[in-house]
Amino acid sequence: MRVLSIALCAIHAVSSERDEHGMRQALRLARMRAPRERRGPGAGLGAGRAPGSRSRDFYGGANRTRLWPRTKHLQPLLPSTPTEHLWAGGCCGLGHRTSRLMRLYVYAMSRGRHVVVDWGACVGTPVANLFSALFGDWNELRAAQPRENELRTPGCPSGVCPTGNAFKEAAKSRRSFFPNEPPEDWQPPGVKVERKHPSKTLWQGEWGLFNLHADIFKYSEHFAASMVKALRPEIKARLDDFIQKEFSPRGRRRTRIIGVHFRFGNGEKFGRRPANATHVVLRTASAVERVSAALGYENVRVLVATDDASALDTLRKHTTLDVFARPQWRPPPGAGIVFSSWRTKDHLDEKIKEATEAAHREVVRDANTCVGAAADMLIDSLLLGYADALVLPVPSTFTILPKVMAHSRGAPSCMFIGETWRDLNIKKRDLELTCVRRDRGGRASDFRLTVPPQGKASWLGARFW
């Protein structure tokens, strides 16, 4: 009798284990089939999500370059055969070139025109068009060739221009030739997005938030995704290699990357240069901690892209943040900005102009150096776009492309909108950080965080603050 009861207990135990396993499987399937929890506006966390829980972005993880862009981001916007072209030139640094080209892309796509891009030569080298050295062509856009005889515009006989110069002359009347700046009405026909925040009117154009507007984003997202897809294989390999090594280091589970960008000018005099760069760096470090806490991030690394390497030194010396940056060629301290054959000319002190010219001569000494230095800046921009969140203290055209990438991936972009960093009392007051993000349903929302003047990331002591 006792043996029979033991056998019945054993059978019941096995049955219970099977039932429990089946129940777990059913609950798992139910969770998978249930609609995803939507994020509430103004919250950084989803409705009902515990403050300490982890949030999940759309296309994160170690293989984020494989997860974004996806096929849906690359669907053609125009037929493969062009009926009219638009010529887009390029000037100045990488941020100006990518942000202006993005606006021209919106202008062209919304009017049915294919884009031809000429970013100019690495002077003194065989590189005639820097754009073609960095990117391949895609359906809606291609690099300009040395000899063009098939550009289309209604101003030429039969709609086809025999030379590039003939096209440029004819395209002016069609407003399809832009050697530098996009037109004021670059937005899609019938769309007018206010460029200034109702209460904070400073440099909204530099923040580029209009590219996230629903009526514009479908074009700017396509542009950003296509640029990444069209990267030259050797540049894509460098991007992938750095992400694999640094975004998910060995032994660090679920590492989150917060990207920050500091635009200080490296000796250049410009309107957005802060009065105290050290304060900007340390307040940004405090903001990183606030964003990490709001999003439930535990293991955090901070990717720094900057035109002034002293920002890295400040973060490493005065904070405990896990800071890293991609090794690359940089102009010497105080030598301004150098990109391809362009360099800072009009906004430098006399004493450092020679340093700028020397840095420029170094960049254009051969084709590999020129393209490699430009690729370094481009990779920095794309790395920011692949971060899990962005914290941006100073407006810069360099971060417009990363913000569009982040928005498409569901990662928040957090900005000190309207802050000039020139107020002498700024060290004593709280600052507001505005974060914008997009959920899986395509709905954008924003939330705000208060960043105090002191935090555990800032160790300069009471005298500094």
Is the same domain home to 404 and 313?
Answer: yes
Closest to 130 in 3D by CA, of 358, 339, 415: 339
Boundary (domain end) residue, out of 178, 194, 217? 178
Q: In what order do the strands lie in the sheet with 256-262?
A: 323-324, 300-306, 256-262, 389-392, 413-415, 431-438, 444-451
The count of structural domains within the chain is 2
- On the question of pLDDT at 3 being above 60, the answer is no
- Residue 422 within a domain: yes
Spatial contact of 239 and 229, defined as CB atoms under 8 Å apart: no
Six-digit token pair at 465? 């603050």
Is the same domain home to 271 and 168?
Answer: no
Calpha distance 218→73 (Å, rounded): 9
Closest to 183 in 3D by CA, of 105, 242, 71: 105
- On the question of pLDDT at 4 being above 50, the answer is no
Range of the domain at 138: 69-178
Mean pLDDT of 397-420: 93
Identify the residue with better confidence: 415 or 330. 415
pLDDT at 289: 94
Q: For a pLDDT cut of 90, what percent of the chain falls above it?
A: 50
Is the same domain home to 168 and 282?
Answer: no
Is the same domain home to 164 and 264?
Answer: no
pLDDT at 123: 83
Mean pLDDT of 333-352: 70
pLDDT at 281: 93
- Residue 25 within a domain: no
Mean pLDDT of 99-124: 94
Q: For a pLDDT cut of 70, what percent of the chain falls above it?
A: 77
CA 93, chain centre distance (Å):
15
Question: pLDDT tier at 204 (50, 70, 90 boundaries)?
Answer: low
Amino acid in position 111: R
Mean pLDDT of 368-374: 92
Is the same domain home to 339 and 433?
Answer: yes
pLDDT at 287: 95
Is the same domain home to 247 and 386?
Answer: yes
- On the question of pLDDT at 347 being above 80, the answer is no
Is the same domain home to 239 and 153?
Answer: no
Is the same domain home to 246 and 105?
Answer: no
User: Burial, 139: exposed, middle or buried (Cβ in 10 Å; 0-12, 13-18, 19+)?
Assistant: middle
- Residue 388 within a domain: yes
- Kindly state the helix (H) or strand (E) to which residue 168 belongs, with its residue range: helix 164-173
Boundary (domain end) residue, out of 159, 178, 197? 178
- Residue 321 within a domain: yes
Q: Which residues of 177-208 are buried (b: 16+ CB within 10 A; e: fewer)?
A: bbeeebeeebbbeeeeeeeeeeeeebbbebbb
Calpha distance 259→257 (Å, rounded): 6
Is the same domain home to 143 and 263?
Answer: no
- Residue 462 within a domain: no
Strands in 128-263 per DSSP E = 141-143, 151-152, 160-161, 177-178, 256-262
Mean pLDDT of 351-356: 76
Q: Whose structure tokens read 């072209």?
A: 85
Calpha distance 294→288 (Å, rounded): 10
- What's the mean per-residue pLDDT of the chain? 81
Is the same domain home to 358 and 437?
Answer: yes
Is the same domain home to 277 and 340?
Answer: yes
- On the question of pLDDT at 16 being above 60, the answer is no
pLDDT at 10: 46
- On the question of pLDDT at 176 being above 80, the answer is yes
Spatial contact of 444 and 438, defined as CB atoms under 8 Å apart: yes
- Residue 200 within a domain: no
Q: Which domain CATH number covers 343? A: 3.40.50.11350
- Residue 173 within a domain: yes
3-state DSSP call for residue 195? coil
- Residues composing the chain: 465
Spatial contact of 380 and 305, defined as CB atoms under 8 Å apart: yes
pLDDT tens by residue, 286-306: 999 999 999 999 899 999 999
- On the question of pLDDT at 27 being above 60, the answer is no
- Kindly state the helix (H) or strand (E) to which residue 377 belongs, with its residue range: helix 367-385
Highest mean pLDDT among 12-21, 360-369, 380-389, 391-400: 380-389
Mean pLDDT of 128-151: 94
Angle at 188 between CA 92 and CA 119, to 5 degrees: 20
Boundary (domain end) residue, out of 146, 178, 210? 178
Kindly calculate the radius of gyration of the chain based on its CA atoms and give it in whole angstroms: 26
- On the question of pLDDT at 63 being above 60, the answer is yes
